[in-house]
Structure 1
Amino acid sequence: MGGPKVKEESRRMAMKTLLMCAAIAVATTNSGLAQTPASPTLVAGLGYVEPEGGVTKVAGGPSIGNSVVYELKVAEGDTVKRADLIAVLGDNALMQAALIQAETRVKVQEAQLARVQAGAMKSELDAKKAVVDRLKKELGNVVKECIRQQNLYERKIISEAVFLQNCNRVDVTEGRLNEAEATLAAVATIRPEDILIAEAELISARANVGHARVALEGTFVRAPTNGTILKVHATAGERIGPSGLVDMGFVERMWVSAEIYESDILKVQPGQSASVIADGIEQKIEGVVKKIGLTVSRNELLSNNPTADVDARVVEVKILLNEEDSHHVAGLTNLQVSVVIHP
């Protein structure tokens, strides 16, 4: 039975063997120099290959849990540029309809504002004026009739009740005339508050168009940067899960992310050369240390078991592969490799 400590010990032995092989190579090179001082210590570790900037997971939509792919525009290995269309999501048609509705509402509100600013139509004004003219004429007639009835009453020809009944029509007609004149004045006047309301409704309608356009754009998944499609996680008809829609990366320049033991990290400096060894790759791969991590953490490459030896504390070191060597591993993102950093 091989427990976590036995596995860790075997890994450390592998590192020692790697260092010994590298040291022998250096010693052989310097064997012809009689008084060459002992070479500084080499540093070794495990790592993995990644594109420049790492792997980008393209999610696809503000609510990826409810997003279904309607149409996928790319395939694994395709090269894309920033803002290129990767996929169309399932609610695209609904968002397009919402945008059309919002744009139509803007046109309605624009027409409403123009109508308020122009005031009432001539036909409406003419109709209101005709009502006022008719009531004026009617008022004149009832006033004349009231005067005639008054003469009859004074001559005792009609009773007081009949006289008052006929003259009450003057007050009624006069009230109707006042109401009609007020209506005409209201229609003929352009009220500032009506214009403000119409303008506010137009602003709101235009804002809704902006929201609809944002929602529609959310149904298009676009490349966030230049790169190559490394992995497709969801195709047409499938729901986008926690892994996202696609993985992509800039494989024109490849890096190695190496885990170096904390006990060795002070021996590593930016600018040091590094050799990379990978199973199945015969070509020599070289690079340069570019970045050294600022934190110490538990090793990930050697063990994913949470019960494993936690004493294996490492620092992440980023190595930029030489341009002429990058293409050897351009299609091998996440390939595990062994790294030797030269003094």
Structure 2
Amino acid sequence: MVRDIAAKSSAFFKPSSRPLIILAAATGFASAGLNGYRFWQSQGQASSASEITQAALPQVTTVTALGRLEPKGTVIKVSAPSSSQGSRVETLLVQEGDRVKTGQVIAILDDRDRLQAAYQEAQAAVKVAQVNLAKVKAGAKSGEIEAQRAEIARLEAQKVGNEREQQQTVARLEAQWQGETTAQQATIKRLEAELKNAQIEFQRYQQLYTDGAISQSAFDSKKLNVDTITQQLDEAQANLQKIDATGRKQISEARTALARINATNNQQVSAATATLDQIAEVRPVDVAAAQAELNRAIASAKQAQANLTQAYVKSPQDGVIFDIHTRAGEVVSNDGIVEIGQTNQMYAVVEVYQSDVNKVQPGQKVQISSNSLKGQLQGKVDWIGWKVQRQNIINTDPSENIDSRVVEVHVQLDEPSSEKAAKFTNLQVKAVIDL
């Protein structure tokens, strides 16, 4: 019975299980297809979004920065040598805008004549040393000895003459000082007497004025007379002090000059006497000493020539005179005498932000523009600076960062652009660098 029931149950379920399996399989395939479509669609949308994003972002092709124009090698300030500090410019040989060549004299300093005389004196000393060396090598001769004795006699006579002349100068200054002092003292005594009389007269008139015997104007005139003589007396006393100080100073300077003349003359006589002793006998040591003296004179002449050369201020390079800081008659300025620049080749020094400088390479083309220039200037990156520094050229836009860190990029302008920019050194420009 049980078997019959089971058999019936199996017979009942068997025919109906097949559609269920087919339905389940169809449902699975449909779900898989739907999921696959959604995945494909999401991938397509992501790809489209990526393409749209890439298309929306512009590609950077230029770097823009501010800069300034300057000549090749920057602007040079030509000044006097350090040994000539405090000198004045005697003659200025150039004007603003003049073109100069390397080594061309642009100014002559006021110590030229003094240095020229020193150089001539040094040359004369060389000739004297050469003559003395030749004498030593030739040996002692009676004629040479007599000539040297005559030289000593001449120097001694010159010494006496110079001393007498300077002593006369001292005596003249002392007499002049004494005479002017005496005259001024007499003037003071005269004014003191006049003042005394004026004061007595004033006191008398003061009493008369108090008694009502004279007018106000008569009283005031006496008082004015006292004040006038008092002032004259003060001026005379001041002049006396001035005369005394000036006279003493002049006499002191004259006596100092006399002492210097005596010392110089004694030195010359001593040197001539020593030379006379030396020519009496030819010895190797004498020849060596004469040669050393000649070498010293030659060295002094070279030094004097070098000093004279420094009185002529020369241009260190070819270029154009931009500015003149010191003119004829003026002491050399701290800014030098002139400014020179090589305008035949102009540059633009561009301040590129440190974040953009890695995009800049030598040889890249650059367009330069400014409101002061007609059209654009063309150039190419020549070289890139080696340090990051603070921005010097500031944009007028208040929203811009005024404390940026930049690197200087040096742009060489082509020949037509250099000609246009030659007169615009330090002009602020805008540069566009093609990457």
TM-score under structure 2 normalisation?
A: 0.53
Aligned to 2:414: 322
Instruction: Map 1:211-230 onto structure 2 (within 5 A).
Output: 211-230=303-322
Question: More helix per residue: 1 or 2?
Answer: 2
In 2, the alpha carbon distance for the partners of 1:106 and 1:64 equals: 25
Aligned to 1:340: 432
Structure 2 residue 102 is matched with structure 1 residue 82 = yes
Structure 2 residue 320 is matched with structure 1 residue 300 = no
Change (3 A) 1:328 1:194: same
In 2, the alpha carbon distance for the partners of 1:45 and 1:252 equals: 24
Give SS of 2:82's match. coil
Q: CA deviation at 1:247?
A: 0.6
2:404 aligned partner, one-letter code: A
In 2, the alpha carbon distance for the partners of 1:270 and 1:72 equals: 42
Structure 2 residue 290 is matched with structure 1 residue 198 = yes
Conservation of the 8 A alpha-carbon contact between 1:271 and 1:289: yes
Conservation of the 8 A alpha-carbon contact between 2:323 and 2:338: yes
Q: CA deviation at 1:114?
A: 1.5
120, 123, 130: which one pairs with 1:100? 120
In 1, the alpha carbon distance for the partners of 2:74 and 2:318 equals: 12
Q: CA deviation at 1:202?
A: 0.8
**What whole-Å deviation, never above 9, does each CA across 1:229-259 have from its counterpart, x for those lacking one?**
1111111011112211111111111110010
Aligned to 1:252: 344
Runs (5+) with no aligned partner, structure 1: 1-34, 127-185
Aligned to 1:53: 73
Aligned to 2:89: 69
Conservation of the 8 A alpha-carbon contact between 1:119 and 1:189: yes
Conservation of the 8 A alpha-carbon contact between 1:53 and 1:250: yes
Q: CA deviation at 1:322?
A: 1.8
2:408 aligned partner, one-letter code: E
Aligned to 1:136: none
Aligned to 1:149: none
Aligned to 1:242: 334
Q: How big is the alpha-carbon RMSD for the aligned residues of Structure 1 and Structure 2?
A: 2.4
Conservation of the 8 A alpha-carbon contact between 1:298 and 1:310: no
Question: How many residues in Structure 1 have an aligned counterpart in Structure 2?
Answer: 245
Aligned to 1:285: 377
**What whole-Å deviation, never above 9, does each CA across 1:293-317 have from its counterpart, x for those lacking one?**
11101111229xxxx9784100000
1:113 aligned partner, one-letter code: L
In 2, the alpha carbon distance for the partners of 1:74 and 1:255 equals: 25
Identity across the alignment (%): 39
Change (3 A) 1:123 1:252: closer
Change (3 A) 1:339 1:122: same
In 2, the alpha carbon distance for the partners of 1:74 and 1:286 equals: 32
Aligned to 2:60: 40
Conservation of the 8 A alpha-carbon contact between 1:61 and 1:67: no
Aligned to 1:231: 323
Conservation of the 8 A alpha-carbon contact between 2:89 and 2:110: yes
Instruction: Map 1:11-26 onto structure 2 (within 5 A).
Output: none
1:231 aligned partner, one-letter code: D
Change (3 A) 1:277 1:64: farther
2:342 aligned partner, one-letter code: F
Structure 2 residue 208 is matched with structure 1 residue 116 = no
Q: CA deviation at 1:40?
A: 2.5
Conservation of the 8 A alpha-carbon contact between 1:62 and 1:218: no
368, 371, 375: which one pairs with 1:276? 368
Q: CA deviation at 1:189?
A: 4.0
Question: More strand per residue: 1 or 2?
Answer: 1
Q: CA deviation at 1:38?
A: 4.4
238, 258, 261: which one pairs with 2:353? 261
TM-score under structure 1 normalisation?
A: 0.67
Q: CA deviation at 1:208?
A: 0.3
Change (3 A) 1:125 1:318: closer
In 2, the alpha carbon distance for the partners of 1:48 and 1:94 equals: 44
2:410 aligned partner, one-letter code: K
Give SS of 2:129's match. helix
2:137 aligned partner, one-letter code: Q
In 2, the alpha carbon distance for the partners of 1:80 and 1:312 equals: 39
Give SS of 2:317's match. coil
Q: CA deviation at 1:199?
A: 0.9
**What whole-Å deviation, never above 9, does each CA across 1:63-92 have from its counterpart, x for those lacking one?**
453121110011111111110111101111
Select between 91-100 and 187-196 the one with higher mean Cα deviation: 187-196
In 1, the alpha carbon distance for the partners of 2:386 and 2:145 equals: 80
Runs (5+) with no aligned partner, structure 2: 1-54, 147-277
